[in-house]
């Protein structure tokens, strides 16, 4: 890996890094700034980082269209990445020489249009045991009378990691039964918030007793707040974080972008990811051989994983979000 990064850096230098504009990275992680800074320290390549939550980030990418202002795109979810690949917006067919583990290889697309950098789970329950006597064990339990008006989740149209949770239920139960489940939650007083941070704040202040959030957010929040218990109910939809290079990247920009991707998938890049946001996004499952997860991640028991096919669920995201807005949110 060190030799590969060096070769990419030499290619970038040959393209005139000293006169280059900064490498522009659009990212949606709590650790993205720490990784970008570590990359610049290691390589000397300047970075312009645009940090937004996933929903607004993807809206910006779509608004820019073919006049993309980014060189590298990095966020949770291969469903949106597959859609961008279908739109020919990503540079495909390349990857650095890294050793993925079995889970990483299973998430690696054949066309190499994007590469997995870590794994979390789209929906886990974070339960306040001080107010909930019997822990919910299944998603169906959230529609029980005991939890009426006490369950909160994110809006999948705003929170990018939430759509895979919704899609996981729809895939596991079937479209009709899955939609009926979310309608039962609404009838039971489901509260819908924009993002993880708002949903967790509602849990902290006692507005809800159960928060359905991404596993990394649940692990980080539970470590700071007493009386919270994480439940990973089956099915738990896998949520890979993925990185991609823009199709318009050429010459110097392409060499720099490849150097950044190689850095993210190196031991140094993974260390920066794991130390950059220990209260939330750093709590991911590494997908590279020889990289261990943080201790909190190792303690998370996930009884049944649901893997979404991005070729199926990527194109459905807009329709599912619209249905959720019309039938659950309003």
Between helix 2-14 and helix 251-264 the angle, nearest 10°, is: 160
Q: How far apart are CA 27 and CA 50, in angstroms?
A: 6
Domain 2-120+240-297 adopts which CATH fold? Answer: D-Maltodextrin-Binding Protein; domain 2 (3.40.190)
Q: 231 CB contacts (<8 Å, ≥6 apart)?
A: 124, 125, 126, 127, 135, 136, 137
> Does 3.40.190.10 match the CATH number of domain 121-237+301-329?
yes
Q: Could you tell me which of 314, 297, 305, 289 has the C-alpha nearest to residue 98?
A: 289
Per-residue pLDDT, 17: 43
Per-residue pLDDT, 18: 46
What pLDDT tens digit does each residue of the chain (330 aa) get? 555 554 555 455 554 444 558 999 999 999 999 999 999 999 999 999 999 999 899 999 999 998 999 999 999 999 999 999 999 999 999 999 999 999 999 999 999 999 999 999 999 999 999 999 999 999 999 999 999 999 999 999 989 889 999 999 999 999 999 999 999 999 999 999 999 999 999 999 999 999 999 999 999 999 999 999 999 999 999 999 999 999 999 999 999 999 999 999 999 999 999 999 999 999 999 999 999 999 999 989 898 899 999 999 999 999 999 999 999 998
CA triple 35-52-271, angle to 5 deg:
20
What are the domain boundaries of the chain? 2-120+240-297, 121-237+301-329
Assess contact for 208 and 104: CB atoms under 8 A. no
- 2-120+240-297 and 121-237+301-329 agree in CATH topology: yes
Per-residue pLDDT, 62: 94
Per-residue pLDDT, 12: 53
| CA 131 centroid distance within chain | 30
| Assigned token pair, 258 | 């490849």
Per-residue pLDDT, 68: 95
């Amino acid at each position: 890996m060190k030799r590969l990064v060096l070769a990419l850096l030499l290619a970038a230098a040959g393209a005139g890094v000293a006169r280059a504009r900064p490498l522009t990275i659009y990212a949606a992680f709590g650790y993205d700034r720490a990784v970008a800074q570590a990359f610049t320290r290691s390589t000397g390549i300047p970075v312009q980082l645009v940090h937004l939550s996933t929903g607004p980030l993807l809206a910006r990418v779509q608004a820019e269209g073919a006049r993309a202002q980014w060189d590298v795109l990095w966020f949770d979810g291969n469903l949106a990445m597959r859609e961008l690949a279908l739109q020919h917006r990503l540079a495909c067919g390349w990857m650095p020489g890294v050793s993925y583990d079995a889970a990483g290889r299973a998430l690696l697309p054949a066309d190499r249009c994007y590469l997995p950098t870590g794994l979390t789970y789209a929906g886990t329950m974070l339960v306040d045991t001080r107010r909930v006597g019997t822990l919910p064990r299944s998603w169906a339990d959230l529609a029980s009378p005991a939890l009426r008006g006490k369950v909160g989740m994110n809006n999948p149209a705003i929170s990018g990691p939430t759509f895979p949770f919704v899609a996981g239920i729809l895939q596991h139960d079937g479209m009709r039964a899955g939609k009926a489940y979310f309608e039962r939650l609404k009838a039971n007083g489901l509260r819908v918030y924009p993002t993880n941070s708002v949903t967790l704040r509602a849990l902290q202040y006692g507005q809800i007793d159960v928060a359905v959030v991404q596993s990394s957010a649940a692990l980080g929040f539970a470590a700071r707040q007493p009386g919270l218990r994480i439940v990973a109910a089956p099915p738990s939809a896998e949520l890979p974080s993925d990185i991609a290079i823009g199709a318009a990247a050429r010459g110097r920009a392409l060499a720099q972008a490849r150097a950044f991707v190689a850095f993210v998938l190196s031991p140094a890049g993974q260390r920066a990811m794991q130390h950059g946001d220990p209260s939330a996004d750093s709590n991911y499952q590494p997908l590279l051989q020889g990289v261990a997860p943080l201790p909190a991640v190792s303690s998370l028991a996930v009884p049944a994983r649901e893997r979404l096919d991005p070729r199926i669920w990527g194109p459905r995201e807009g329709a599912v979000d619209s249905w959720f807005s019309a039938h659950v949110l309003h």
